[in-house]
Structure 1
Amino acid sequence: MIDAAAQMLARVGLNATSIREVTKLAEAPLGSTYHHFPGGKQELLARATHMAGDKVEALLVELLKGGAVQGLQQFLGMWRERLLRTDFRAGCPVLAAAVEEPVEAMHSQPRAAAAEVFARWQGHLASAFVAEGHDPAAAAGLASLVIASVEGAVAMCRALQDIAPFDQVAAQLLKAAVTP
């Protein structure tokens, strides 16, 4: 169910993701949802955000073992391929959790989960940039730039149904990454 919720977040966003649709996609009984997720939709989507973030984090850590620039290039390639493979229908579930205000609650568990995930991604990227000679403050800024730029480029590509914004952003990020 958590994987299905992450897929729904990536495609339709936070508010359009319903428990009913998640259980249908997961082929799970609707009644089991509140047994496993007593906090309801907020808890399920927070867990989905963490799970999606953990998957990307594990991949990012693995890719960065080959160096910051090479890892970044492969990471960008993964996102590019995802956009094309899904015909621009799937975005980032972590971003969806971060930007949408849930209609049913004042406190957003998914948004808090997204903040934690983004901080971890930023930390891994910054450490890799420092290891390649970037000043720590500049590395932190570059890491934030990477995350914000990739997320924005993914959103633009989805809106335009075109990979060009992503390719333009990727080229600029790679230039910035090689210049300590």
Structure 2
Amino acid sequence: MAKSSAPSRERIVAGAADLISRRGLNASSIRELAKHAKAPLGSTYHYFPEGKQQLATEAVQYAGASVARILRGTLDAGPVAGLRAFLDAWRAIVVQSDFRAGCPVLAVAVEEPPAGETPPILTAAAAAFEEWEGLLADALLRHGAEPDRAPALATLVVASVEGAIAMCRARRSMQPLDRVAQQLEELIEGALDRPA
């Protein structure tokens, strides 16, 4: 049986996540999202009959799940190992894109949503951030952080890294992420040091 030349649904979602990480959602049409994924517009509408918002929501969910997999795969070795993997993943994206790409979850979170109720894409972005924070907080707790400190420290990690990524893109330098990495590592190590 011959293989279909049509792109897979996952490839379209991954391509959409990449374009959103570069241009944001509002600056990306469904046609551009399809073109970036090297997919025919018809295939895109076949997989995503609700259009751009459905595709973009799934792209944010995809990006969120990808980062969560990285965290899950490294946090057993400790929160510092998880932080380093989190930072390394974003560093690779920013550097390999020549400072053109960042985080698609942040990209949609900072754009003005349509008036009315919260769109599903913002719900997906909030869920991604919450999952990352939850994974980090759980690892901090398992490795000795105080229960009242772990959630706040996890939020600080996610917010700091996301902000640093934006600063790196603007400055075309990895220095903000390097500085944030050093400070966060020290904070995490301090949170895990308990007096005997």
Normalising by structure 2, we get a TM-score of 0.86
- Which runs of 5 or more structure 1 residues have no equivalent in the other structure? none
Q: Out of 65-74 and 149-158, give the one that drifted further.
A: 65-74
Instruction: Give the deviation of 1:105 after TM superposition.
Output: 7.4
Q: Distance in 2 between matches of 1:167 and 1:31?
A: 43
Q: Distance in 2 between matches of 1:148 and 1:111?
A: 16
For residue 112 of structure 1, what is the aligned residue in structure 2? Answer: 123
How has the CA–CA distance of structure 1 residues 105 and 158 changed in structure 2, closer, same or farther, with 3 Å as cutoff?
A: farther
Native 8 Å contact 2:90 2:102 kept in 1: no
Alignment deviations for residues 68-124 of structure 1 (CA, whole Å, 9 cap, x no partner): 112212322232233222211110011112111245875422111000111111100
Q: Distance in 2 between matches of 1:105 and 1:158?
A: 31
1:84 paired to 2:95: yes
Which of 130, 139, 142 is the matching residue for 1:128?
139
How has the CA–CA distance of structure 1 residues 122 and 169 changed in structure 2, closer, same or farther, with 3 Å as cutoff?
A: same
After TM superposition, the structure 1 = structure 2 runs for residues 53-64 of structure 1, keeping only pairs within 5 Å, are 53-64=64-75
Native 8 Å contact 2:20 2:28 kept in 1: yes
- Between 1 and 2, higher relative CO (CA 8 Å, sep ≥ 6) is seen in 1
- Which runs of 5 or more structure 2 residues have no equivalent in the other structure? 1-11, 192-196
Native 8 Å contact 1:10 1:91 kept in 2: yes
Q: Distance in 1 between matches of 2:180 and 2:38?
A: 38
Normalising by structure 1, we get a TM-score of 0.94
Q: Distance in 2 between matches of 1:106 and 1:40?
A: 18
SS at structure 2 position matched to 1:133 = coil
Please tell me whether Structure 1 or Structure 2 has the larger radius of gyration of its CA atoms. 2
Native 8 Å contact 1:15 1:103 kept in 2: no
For residue 2 of structure 1, what is the aligned residue in structure 2? Answer: 13
Instruction: Give the deviation of 1:27 after TM superposition.
Output: 2.1
Q: Distance in 2 between matches of 1:105 and 1:95?
A: 21
Which of 77, 97, 115 is the matching residue for 1:66?
77
Q: Distance in 1 between matches of 2:29 and 2:113?
A: 12
Native 8 Å contact 1:15 1:102 kept in 2: no
Q: Distance in 1 between matches of 2:110 and 2:29?
A: 17
Native 8 Å contact 2:15 2:33 kept in 1: yes
After TM superposition, the structure 1 = structure 2 runs for residues 45-60 of structure 1, keeping only pairs within 5 Å, are 45-60=56-71
Letter in 2 for 1:168: R
Which of 79, 98, 105 is the matching residue for 2:109?
98
Q: Sequence identity of aligned pairs in percent?
A: 49
Instruction: Give the deviation of 1:18 after TM superposition.
Output: 1.2
Letter in 1 for 2:155: S
Count matched residues: 180
Q: Distance in 2 between matches of 1:10 and 1:105?
A: 25
